[in-house]
């Protein structure tokens, strides 16, 4: 950590520094979903602060959807998972790295005429391979993902394998490693089809991640559209002069992720 960042952190109120430290323990997976936190007194003693200061920090974590307080039982890491935006890794790989039991259903796969905008981005010469996959965390639908790839790659892909391993991994094994991505996140409402796959009412709010992935030669190889239901995700950003952390947190859905 740089001296500038240490100085900035030292100027923060204690409860904000504690909130950041505890959040990092949760989002990094060091504190697993469902595990019980130490008591407020134990945490306050560990950080050398008052119970009131610790309660302020825990209140922020609860507001983030990262912890649940169970009356008469204690405080637990919520059954939610974070997806970090600060590195090159797929949704599924990021959630699985934190202990989520991720499964994938291949909903559809076909070579289709490329929509004009996707054809322009991929240089697809008129046809693309369209994959539609549903991501489930611990058996519950969290992401519906539609990915477009140049049709020339279709013969090289084992579609059944995409239910077991990430698309980036499969592409790398076929000589097409992804080296960078460009991502845009917008708010949308779910179509009837998307809502059905995610188990939500039609026209429910959602976040749409549009991500274009490139090879080291600068060729666009995947045009990806992922939908996350609005009642199960928040975006948290932590900024400093020389540091930025941004992540999605897939929160509990009526008490279940």
Q: What is the CATH number of the domain that holds 71?
A: 1.10.10.10
Q: Which of the listed residues 78, 104, 120 is the one where a domain comes to its end?
A: 78
Per the structure, the count of domains in the chain is 2
93 and 176 in a single domain? The answer is yes
Whether 202 maps to a domain, the answer reads yes
Supply the pLDDT for residue 3: 44
Supply the pLDDT for residue 1: 44
Q: Is 240 left (phi over 0), alpha (psi -120 to 50) or beta?
A: beta
Supply the pLDDT for residue 254: 39
Q: What's the predicted TM-score (pTM) here?
A: 0.63
**Which residues constitute the domain of residue 214?**
82-235+246-250
Q: Which of the listed residues 32, 50, 78 is the one where a domain comes to its end?
A: 78
- DSSP state, 65? T
Q: Which residue spans within the chain are E strands per DSSP?
A: 67-70, 74-77, 81-84, 102-113, 127-137, 140-150, 178-189, 205-215, 220-229, 233-240, 243-250
- Between the CA of residue 119 and those of 112, 178, 191, what are the distances in Å? 11, 19, 23
Supply the pLDDT for residue 103: 86
Q: Which of the listed residues 78, 101, 122 is the one where a domain comes to its end?
A: 78
Supply the pLDDT for residue 88: 47
Q: Could you tell me the mean pLDDT of each successive run of 10 residues in the chain, 257 residues long?
A: 45 82 80 86 94 88 75 77 51 61 89 91 85 87 92 82 81 84 89 94 91 88 90 70 66 42
Supply the pLDDT for residue 224: 94
């Amino acid at each position: 950590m740089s001296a500038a960042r240490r100085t900035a952190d030292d100027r923060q109120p204690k409860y904000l520094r504690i909130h950041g430290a505890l959040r990092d323990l949760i989002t990094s997976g060091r504190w697993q979903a469902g595990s019980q936190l130490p008591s407020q007194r134990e945490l306050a003693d560990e950080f050398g602060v008052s119970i009131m200061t610790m309660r302020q920090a825990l209140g922020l974590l609860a507001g983030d959807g990262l912890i649940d307080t169970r009356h008469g039982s204690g405080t637990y890491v919520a059954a939610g998972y974070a997806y970090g935006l600060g590195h090159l890794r797929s949704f599924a790989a990021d959630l699985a790295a934190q202990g989520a039991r991720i499964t994938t259903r291949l909903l559809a796969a076909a070579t289709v005429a490329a929509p004009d905008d996707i054809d322009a981005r991929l240089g697809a010469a008129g046809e693309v391979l369209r994959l539609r996959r549903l991501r489930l965390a611990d058996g519950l639908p969290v992401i519906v993902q539609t990915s477009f790839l140049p049709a020339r790659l279709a013969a090289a892909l084992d579609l059944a394998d995409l239910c077991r391993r990430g698309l980036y991994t499969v592409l790398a094994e076929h000589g097409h490693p992804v080296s960078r991505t460009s991502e845009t996140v917008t708010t949308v409402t779910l179509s009837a089809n998307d809502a059905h796959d995610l188990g939500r009412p039609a026209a429910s709010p959602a976040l749409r991640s549009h991500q274009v992935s490139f090879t080291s030669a600068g060729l666009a190889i995947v045009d990806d559209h992922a939908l996350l239901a609005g009642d199960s995700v928040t975006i948290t950003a932590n900024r400093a002069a020389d540091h930025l952390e941004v992540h999605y947190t897939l929160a509990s859905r009526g008490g279940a992720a």
